[in-house]
Structure 1
Amino acid sequence: MRKSRKTTAETRQRIIETASEEFRRNGIEKTGLSELMAAAGLTHGGFYKHFESKEQLAEESVAFSIDSMIESWRRTLSNARPKRGLQTAVKEYLSTNLRDDVASGCPFAALCSEMARDDQSVRETSTTGFLKMVDLIAGQLGGMSRPAAQKEALWMFSSMIGAVVMARVVTDPEISDSILREARKHLLRPSKDIR
Structure 2
Amino acid sequence: MPYSSQHKEQTRQRILQAAAKLFCSHGFDRVTLTQIMKQANMTHGAFYAHFSGKSSLYEAAMQFATSHAFWARDDKQTEGKETHIKALVTRYLSWSKSDKEHPSPLEFLVTDAAHKEEKVRQAYQACFDSLVDRLAGILKKRGSQEAKALAEETVVSLVGTVAIARSFAQPLQNDFLKRAKVRIVSRLNSGLKNAT
Could you state the TM-score of these two structures normalised by the residue count of structure 2? 0.85
Cross-structure match for 2:183:
186
Cross-structure match for 1:134:
132
CA distance in 2 between counterparts of 1:83 and 1:149 reads 20
Cross-structure match for 1:116:
114
CA distance in 2 between counterparts of 1:128 and 1:24 reads 14
SS of match in other structure, 2:106:
helix
Cross-structure match for 2:65:
65
CA distance in 2 between counterparts of 1:133 and 1:20 reads 17
Residue 109 of structure 1: CA displacement?
A: 1.9
Indicate conservation of the 8 Å contact 1:77/1:89, yes or no. Answer: no
Residue 17 of structure 1: CA displacement?
A: 0.9
SS of match in other structure, 1:30:
coil
Cross-structure match for 1:8:
8
Q: Which amino acid aligns with 2:163?
A: V
Q: Which amino acid aligns with 2:5?
A: R
Indicate conservation of the 8 Å contact 2:112/2:121, yes or no. Answer: no
Residue 20 of structure 1: CA displacement?
A: 0.4
Q: Percent identity?
A: 28
Cross-structure match for 1:84:
83
Cross-structure match for 2:161:
163
CA RMSD for the aligned pairs? 2.2
Could you state the TM-score of these two structures normalised by the residue count of structure 1? 0.85
CA distance in 2 between counterparts of 1:39 and 1:2 reads 24
Cross-structure match for 1:177:
174
Q: What does residue range 102-113 of structure 1 map to in structure 2 within 5 Å?
A: 104-113=102-111
